[in-house]
């Protein structure tokens, strides 16, 4: 979703004191700041880059309760009440967004669509989803439908929504202060003060809405969520009357949008196995729709929780004035609206029907296996990355590519421009020191441990890291040599 012709906000360059501070200018942070300010709090939102430059600017924006197989999993693991409450939370978020859109008459490409969920694995999975949704009282149909991948048994629900979230959010009245290019680099939780590069903010309450939580010393979010990347293409031409979602986590998700469709999928843990993702996606597009014009293609990530439910509420048992919003499992539209209301109620000391469901302090059975697998994988990335010392040098890097190599006796993340110039930075993620991986699809350095991402020059793109990678200073000599060697140019850069 593009965000053209938009207003800019200043960078914070002084110390300030406010009632509420929200860190992170995505849909979750923005709606929460809006809600907190609506209750009379002097509220500030800080964003490390531009508003909505994170996942919110790269979503496919279906506002729906048709979330794949989440209901059958929740029903199996936790019973009817949790599964039903999850559904109600989605309805609540959907209604809240629609109400705002109606109240302010916002032109945001609003669509009302039939939602279809099918399974590319077996119709048994589809039947299970149908039974689970029926058991908790959701009115859905089970029918054979023509999906873009062919005829399939699908669970179908009417009146789901889709929109352009940036048009929607930018049209809301701004009742709080916004600072862009203002990154939280340190948080003193005891003083309730957030430090940015050029100013500090003291706040009575702080909301961490950075997608991946950035306070490491509390809450153990590095164990509670894992990063997952999706690949998406906007395709001109195909006409669809509904959304189509494969229940597999890495299956396709298709929605109609402006004379065409968006097709997303090929989900994988950030920093792993990305090299053929766009190829796979574009092959799927041509199998479904024939040769079509691809208007745009992009990759974006979200945080996945292990029980399928986001974490929204108190950051940790000790931090009751600091709140967190994370773990949307790629369903952050409706969930963000519900999260904003929940945080506002918690801050006001009011009851909220979703406090327990979303509580970051919850302990849920049934997901120990997945939790353990993730912990082992993260530990493995940390250990193997630290033990790895590359033998290859910058000479082995193709123009337009990056690689972890040995440079002046040190391990470095080196990117080679098409003209041969080299850019080298530290090879370990500043967050918890896992080794970065080059993503040749997006030309970024991605951390497989927790999903911090950096551009080809090492500038930070994505939390949980709060800083860029340190550049390697002694590179002039290599630059000159490499420039001579690589006159043949490059064809790989997108
Ligand atoms: C490809 C894809 C398709 C999706 N499709 C759907 C869909 O159809 N329906 C749906 O409901 N959900 C969907 N989702 C999920 C949804 O887009 C996300 O859950 C949601 O956008 C996350 O919003 P957020 O505000 O939590 O994070 P973000 O939008 O990433 O916002 C976090 C912000 O925090 C900022 N930040 C980070 N660190 C700092 C710091 N230290 N200081 C200051 N600022 C900082 C970042 O720059 C960023 O702008 C999709 C996700 C993906 C990846």
* Top mutation candidate among 32, 55, 325 for ligand 1, by most atoms within 8 Å of CB: 55
Q: How far apart are CA 29 and CA 352, in angstroms?
A: 19
Task: Quote the tokens at residue 306.
Answer: 């292990």
Of the candidates 129, 123, 149, the one whose C-alpha atom is nearest the C-alpha of residue 141 is 129
Q: How does strand 294-305 pair with strand 410-416?
A: unpaired
Residue showing tokens 């862009």: 180
pLDDT over 50 at 377, yes or no: yes
Domain with CATH 2.102.10.10 in the chain: 394-485
The topology under which CATH files domain 394-485 is Rieske Iron-sulfur Protein (2.102.10)
Cα(374)–Cα(475) distance, integer angstroms: 37
Does the pLDDT of residue 382 top 50, yes or no? yes
Q: Considering the entire predicted model, what is its pTM?
A: 0.94
CATH no. of 16-358: 3.50.50.60
Which of 21, 26, 98, 243 has the most ligand 1 atoms within 8 A of CB, as the residue to mutate?
Answer: 26
The CB of 119 under 6 Å from ligand 1? The reply is no
**Using an 8 Å Cβ cutoff, are 88 and 153 in contact?**
no
Please state the atom number of ligand 1 nearest to the C-alpha of residue 330: 15
CA distances from 374 to 143, 201, 367 (A): 36, 35, 11
| DSSP H helical ranges for 206-299 | 221-224, 277-289
Q: What is the pLDDT of residue 478?
A: 52
Residue 63 Cα, ligand 1 centroid: separation in angstroms? 14
Indicate if ligand 1 lies below 6 Å from the C-beta of 62.
yes
Q: What is the pLDDT of residue 475?
A: 55
pLDDT digits (tens, 9 = 90+) for 400-436: 999 999 998 999 999 999 999 999 999 999 999 999 9
Higher pLDDT, 334 or 480: 334
Evaluated on CA atoms 172, 178, 183, 186, the torsion sign reads negative
Does the Cβ of 299 fall within 6 Å of ligand 1? no
Is residue 100 lining ligand 1, measured as CB closer than 6 Å?
no
Interval 330-357: pLDDT, tens: 999 999 999 999 999 999 999 999 999 9
Q: According to CATH, where is 3.50.50.60 located in the chain?
A: 16-358
Q: Is 328 in the pocket of ligand 1 (CB under 6 A)?
A: yes
């Amino acid at each position: 979703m593009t965000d053209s012709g938009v207003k800019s906000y200043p960078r914070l360059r002084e110390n300030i004191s406010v009632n509420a501070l929200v860190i992170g200018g995505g849909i979750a942070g923005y709606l929460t700041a809006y809600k907190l300010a609506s209750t009379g709090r002097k509220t500030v939102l800080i964003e490390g880059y531009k508003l909505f430059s994170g996942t919110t600017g790269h979503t496919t924006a279906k506002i729906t309760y048709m979330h794949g197989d989440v209901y059958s999993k929740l029903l199996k693991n936790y019973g009817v009440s949790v599964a039903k409450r999850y559904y109600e939370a989605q309805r609540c978020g959907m209604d809240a967004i629609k109400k705002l859109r109606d109240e302010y008459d916002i032109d945001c490409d609003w669509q009302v669509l039939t939602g279809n969920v099918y399974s590319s694995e077996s119709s048994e999975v589809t039947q299970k989803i149908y039974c689970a949704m029926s058991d908790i009282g959701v009115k859905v149909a089970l029918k054979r439908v023509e999906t873009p991948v062919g005829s399939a048994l699908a669970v179908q629900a009417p009146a789901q929504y889709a929109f352009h979230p940036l048009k929607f959010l930018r049209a809301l009245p701004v009742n709080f202060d916004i600072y862009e290019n203002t990154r939280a680099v340190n948080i003193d939780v005891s003083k309730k003060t957030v430090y940015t590069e050029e100013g500090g903010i003291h706040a009575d309450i702080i909301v961490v809405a950075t997608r991946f939580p950035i306070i490491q010393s509390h809450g153990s979010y590095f164990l509670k969520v894992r990063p997952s990347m999706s690949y998406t293409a906007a395709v001109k031409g195909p006409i669809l009357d509904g959304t189509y979602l494969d229940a597999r986590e890495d299956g396709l998700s298709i929605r109609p949008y402006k004379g065409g469709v968006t097709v997303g999928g090929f989900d994988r843990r950030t920093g792993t196995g990305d090299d053929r993702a766009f190829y796979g996606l574009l092959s799927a597009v041509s199998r479904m729709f024939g040769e079509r014009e691809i208007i745009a293609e992009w990759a974006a990530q979200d945080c996945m929780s292990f029980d399928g439910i986001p974490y929204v509420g108190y950051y940790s048992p000790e931090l009751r004035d600091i709140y967190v919003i994370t773990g949307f499992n790629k369903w952050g539209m409706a969930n963000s609206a519900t999260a904003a209301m929940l945080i506002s109620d918690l801050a006001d000391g009011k009851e909220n029907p979703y406090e327990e469901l979303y509580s970051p302090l919850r302990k849920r059975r049934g997901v120990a296996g997945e939790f353990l697998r993730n912990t082992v994988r993260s530990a493995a990335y940390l250990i193997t990355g630290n033990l790895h010392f590359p033998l290859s040098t910058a000479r082995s890097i193709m123009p337009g590519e990056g690689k972890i190599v040995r440079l002046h006796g040190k391990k470095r993340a080196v990117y080679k421009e098409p003209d041969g110039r080299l850019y080298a930075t530290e090879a370990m993620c500043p967050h918890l020191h896992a080794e970065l991986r080059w993503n040749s699809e997006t030309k970024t350095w991605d951390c497989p441990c927790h999903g911090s991402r950096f551009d080809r020059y090492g500038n930070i793109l994505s939390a949980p890291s709060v800083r860029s990678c340190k550049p390697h200073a002694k590179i002039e000599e290599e630059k000159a040599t490499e420039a001579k060697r690589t006159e043949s140019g490059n064809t790989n850069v997108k």
